[in-house]
Structure formats: structure tokens, C-alpha cells
Amino acid sequence: MDFDIANAELVDRGRLRVEWAETQMPVLRQIRERFGVERPLAGQRIAACLHVTTETANLMSTLVAGGAEVRLCASNPLSTQDDVAAWLVEDLGIGTFAVHGEDRDRYYRHIHAVLDFAPTITIDDGADVISTLHSERQDLIPGIVAGMEETTTGVIRLRAMAADGALKYPLIAVNDANTKRLFDNYYGTGQSTIDGILRATNILLAGRNVVVCGYGQCGRGVATRAHGMGASVIVCEVDPLQALQAALDGYRVMPISDAAAVGHVFVTVTGDCGVIRGEHFDRMQDGAILCNSGHFDVEIDLVALSEMATSKRRVRHETDEYLMPDGRRIYILGEGRLVNLASAEGHPASVMDMSFANQALCSEYVAKNKLSVDVHTVPAEIDAEVARLKLASMGVRIDTLTPEQEKYLSSWQSGT
């Protein structure tokens, strides 16, 4: 079996951590048990490009239980947990290509390595496999039945490909499922981003001005959790509707050029590039802490910051200090990459349970159904099933409509 990991001897620690995550993933566990009996993925070769975490390991074992052959590479150079990579190779026995801190060349060599076994299904987080397939490995596309995309940024890329007429195989936007977007993006990003900031810096958030750039589901999650810890939250937005929601949620809303001067901690979660730039670094206070929780490391202009700074040194794990000519210090966490995965462990398993249940059930769906070449939403019955299973696992019961209520909802005659 081909693989490229940092150190196979980390397997024991990896096993304990993967087992711990499993205790928090009851929905995926149930799916894995059914897959073990029904083997709906028999004959499928799945190429996955995901953050190599304990939660991903549990998705991988679910796909294997379903009968698939699986290869996995990292979807970010800094998110790989090397002990988990060891477990994937040593215990689960799947070709894993992921090394924490890998450079760009190795990252793309790993993407090609998972493609080399001619997948029938792809699973992406950020669309790097999909875009590599479309640009450099088009010969493999006829063998692919469909793929899934995990994250907002990836779905944006796919929709751009579809609009350009460039898309060549069917994809499901797992990100857009309600049981993904409303939970993983909001609760997952919210908690794990704060976790990343605190593990990197150990600062007290209470009393700090925390600037959140972007008020989508992820930004809202970060703002809520920062507020809950006593921070004074400032939101920067370009979308008038989202800015209005932020204002009515009780946050101060202002352009980043104003926020730059008053912020103590800055978090970018926009999915766009150049959100915090040279003119903003110029206005920041001594000691400002900056990090990103959007998929790519393009939101903070680190090239500009490096050019402006007179020196740079690593002062703590994943914390770099840039010294400005006037003596101010600006701190960058996780090299501007996803702070929740670079400085912490990513979203908690309990929320990834729903995201990855969608991935597993969509893998089964595309193995059984032929889709047109387009970006599809997750079938509503899968979304509802994930919510139902999650509620059941939490012991939460809900009401059902009475026949009279059903009739009322489907009638239009009764009014005032």
C-alpha cells in the first residue's frame, strides 16, 4: 500500500484519540453499523481530500465499512494530525498522504497520489481535488460517478465552474445541507475558532475588542462565542443585509479601516482575499492579534505584512510576532491558515458527526443514483434523516402534527 505520513509510531496515541472522537459521533456510528451489513459502497474507490483529524478518521472507517476502497490526502498543510495519519495507515489500512507542515509541492504530490488510484467518487474540503482533476487529470473524469464538497469556499468554486460551463462531473454541495451549514459552520467554527485563539495565546477575551470580518454562519458563530466570553464584538461586512443583522444582534458594525485602530483581536471569516491589508496594519495597536478561520490563507495579506515588518519571530506555538518600524508588534496565529485547525483540533466531533453523516449518506446516494453534471443540493430526505438520528442520539423527542394540523397546513380556504 502506498502512503506518506510523518511517523507510523504515533499510532497508539492516534488510536486513543480516534476512539474518543467516536464516542461523540453516534450518528456516524449507526451509519457505519448499517454500512457494515449492507455494503452500499462495494466496488467504489473514494479519493478524499479532507482535514486529517480524528473526526475524518471516523468518516474513513465508515466508508471502509461500506465496502469502499479509500485513499485520503490533507486539505490543508497545517491541519494534519500526524498521530491520526498513523492510525489511518497502521490500523485502518488506507493509503494516507498527509504530513503536518508539508510544503506546497508535497501537498500537491499528495493530491495526485490519491487520484492515481482512479477514483469513482471524490470527497473534497476546498475543491482542490476537483480543480486538479479538471485542470491536470481530465483523463480520470469519465470514471467518476460524482463527488461531494464539504465547505462554503469549495462550493463557491464549484458554482463558478458550473457557471463557466467548466464542470465535468456531478457534485453535491454537502456544505449547503441544513444539518451541516447551520451547525458545523455556526457552532463548530464558533467554538473551535475561539479554542484556536486561546490555545495559541492564552489571552483573556473578556474586555477585549474582537473584530469579526464576515457575518455569514461562521462569522456569527465566532461573534456569539466571543461575546459570550465577555469580549466587545465589532463586525465588518460588505453585505448590507448581513451588516444589518449584525447591528440588530447588538454588535458595533464599521469598516475594517475604522476597526483596525480599535481592535485587539481580529478574525477573518469571509472566504475572500485581502480582507486585512497594509493600510490596516498601519493603523493597528501594539499587540494586535490576527487570525483567519476562512478556508484559504488569503484573507490576511501576509506578503504586505512581511514587507512592512523589520523582523519576525515565533514566540509561541503557531504564534508569529511581526515587529513594525515604529516598534508596534502584530501577532499572526497559525500562519494565517484556519486557526481552529492549525492551533487547535478543529470542530468538535459532536458537530462533525452531522457533517460527516451527510458525506457518508451522500456517498451511498451517488453510488446508487446517477446525477446530472451540476452542483446538486443534498437530498432533503438525507438532511432530515441526519437531524432525526442526531435528535434521537441526544434523547430529544419532538411533536408530530395532528391530522387536523396537517389538513390546516395544506388548505388555503380558511382565513380570518
* Contact residues for ligand ADE, defined by CB under 6 A: 50-51, 53, 55-56, 341, 346-347, 352
Handedness of CA 187, 193, 199, 204 (dihedral sign): negative
In which order are the strands placed within the sheet that holds 69-74?
A: 4-5, 95-98, 69-74, 45-50, 121-124, 146-149, 171-173, 375-377
- At closest approach, how far in Å is the CB of 401 from ligand ADE? 36
CA distances to 151, 155, 256, 360 from 381, rounded to whole Å, are 20, 21, 41, 14
SS (H, E, C) 27-80: HHHHHHHHHHHHCCCCCCEEEEEECCCHHHHHHHHHHHHCCCEEEEEECCCCCC
Q: Which is nearer to ligand ADE, 94 or 140 (CB)?
A: 94
Based on CB atoms, which residue is closest to ligand ADE, 205 or 341?
A: 341
CB of residue 188 to ligand ADE, shortest distance in Å? 6
CA dist., res. 201 & res. 17, Å (int): 24
How many other CB atoms sit within 10 Å of the CB of residue 228? 12
State the minimum distance, in angstroms, from the CB of residue 365 to ligand ADE.
Answer: 21
**Taking CB positions, which residue lies at the least distance from ligand ADE?**
346
Please identify, using beta-carbon distances, which residue of 27 and 260 lies nearer to ligand ADE: 27
Name which of 10 and 342 has its Cβ closer to ligand ADE: 342
CB of 348 to ligand ADE, least distance (A): 7
Give the closest residue to 261 by CA, choosing from 285, 233, 232, 278: 285
| Shortest separation between residue 375's beta carbon and ligand ADE, angstroms | 20
Tell me the one-letter amino acid at 193.
T
**Residue 149 parent element (H or E):** strand 146-149
Q: What's the DSSP call for residue 183?
A: I
Question: Using an 8 Å Cβ cutoff, are 330 and 290 in contact?
Answer: yes
CB of 345 to ligand ADE, least distance (A): 6
- Closest to ligand ADE by CB, 187 vs 322, is 187
> What letter does residue 232 receive in the DSSP assignment?
E
Residues 6+ apart with CB under 8 A from 181: 152, 175, 217
CB of 343 to ligand ADE, least distance (A): 12
Q: Is 109 strand, coil or helix? A: helix
Identify which of residues 158 and 234 has a Cβ nearer to ligand ADE in the complex: 158
Between 305 and 341, CB nearer to ligand ADE: 341
Place of cell 470527497: 123
Nearest residue (CB) to ligand ADE, 16 versus 118: 16
User: Among residues 72 and 275, whose Cβ is nearest to ligand ADE?
Assistant: 72
**Shortest separation between residue 55's beta carbon and ligand ADE, angstroms:** 4
Residue 279: CB minimum distance to ligand ADE, A: 31
Query: In terms of C-beta distances under 8 Å and separation of at least 24 residues, what long-range contacts does 272-277 make, across chains too?
Result: 272/298, 272/299, 273/298, 273/299, 274/298, 274/299, 274/301, 275/213, 275/214, 275/236, 275/299, 275/300, 276/213, 276/300, 276/301, 277/301, 277/304
CB of 346 to ligand ADE, least distance (A): 3
CA distance 377 to 172: 6
CB of 374 to ligand ADE, least distance (A): 25
Q: Considering beta carbons, is residue 55 or 297 the nearer one to ligand ADE?
A: 55
- Return the SS3 of 108: helix
